[in-house]
Amino acid sequence: MELTHRPRRLRQDRIRPLVSETSLEPSDFIAPVFVDATTEERVPIESMPGHERVPIDEAVARVEEVLETGVEAVMLFGIPRSKDPDGTRAWAEDGVVQEATRRITSETDAYVITDVCLCEYTSHGHCGPLEEELRDEEGGVDEPIHGHDATTTVDNDATLESLENIATSHAEAGADMIAPSGMMDGMVGAIRGALDSSGFDHVPIMSYAAKYESAFYGPFRDAADGAPSFGNRRHYQMDPANAREAIREVELDVEQGADVLMVKPALPYLDIVADLRREFDHPVAAYNVSGEYAMLHAAAEKGWLDLEEVALESLLSIKRAGADLILTYFAEDVATRLQG
Point out the annotated binding site for 5-aminolevulinate. 221, 233, 290, 329
# binding residues, ligand PBG (CB under 6 A): 12
CB-based contacts of 197, cutoff 8 Å, min separation 6: none
For residue 128, count CB atoms less than 10 angstroms from its CB and return exposed for 0-12, middle for 13-18, buried for 19 or more: buried
From the list 52, 115, 155, 164, which residue makes contact with ligand PBG (rule: CB under 6 A)? 115
Interaction pattern, residues 147-186, with ligand PBG; x per rule: CB under 6 A: ----------------------------------xx----
Residue ranges of the binding site: 117, 119, 127, 221, 233, 249, 290, 329
92 Ramachandran zone, left/alpha/beta (phi>0; psi -120 to 50): beta
Q: Which is nearer to ligand PBG, 200 or 220 (CB)?
A: 220
Q: How near is the Cβ of 25 to ligand PBG at its closest, in Å?
A: 22
CB-based contacts of 145, cutoff 8 Å, min separation 6: 134, 153, 230, 231
* Amino acid residing at 102: R
Q: Which is nearer to ligand PBG, 117 or 250 (CB)?
A: 117
Query: Is 319 marked active-site?
Result: no
CA dist., res. 214 & res. 241, Å (int): 11
Q: How near is the Cβ of 34 to ligand PBG at its closest, in Å?
A: 10
Q: How near is the Cβ of 152 to ligand PBG at its closest, in Å?
A: 18
Q: Does 52 help bind ligand PBG (rule: CB under 6 A)?
A: no
Residue ranges of the binding site for Mg(2+): 249
Query: Is 83 marked active-site?
Result: no
Picking from 41, 125, 111, the residue whose alpha carbon sits closest to that of residue 76 is: 111
Q: Which is nearer to ligand PBG, 3 or 241 (CB)?
A: 241
Q: Does 200 help bind ligand PBG (rule: CB under 6 A)?
A: no
Q: Which residue is nearest to ligand PBG (CB)?
A: 220
Q: Does 290 help bind ligand PBG (rule: CB under 6 A)?
A: yes
From the list 35, 127, 205, 315, which residue makes contact with ligand PBG (rule: CB under 6 A)? 127
Q: Does 119 help bind ligand PBG (rule: CB under 6 A)?
A: yes
Catalytic position from the list 83, 211, 302, 319: 211
Catalytic position from the list 83, 264, 302, 319: 264
Q: How near is the Cβ of 218 to ligand PBG at its closest, in Å?
A: 7
Site for ligand PBG in 210-229 (CB under 6 A): 217, 220-221, 226
Q: Does 263 help bind ligand PBG (rule: CB under 6 A)?
A: no
Binding site for ligand PBG (CB under 6 A): 115, 117, 119, 127, 181-182, 217, 220-221, 226, 289-290
**Which residues carry out catalysis?**
211, 264
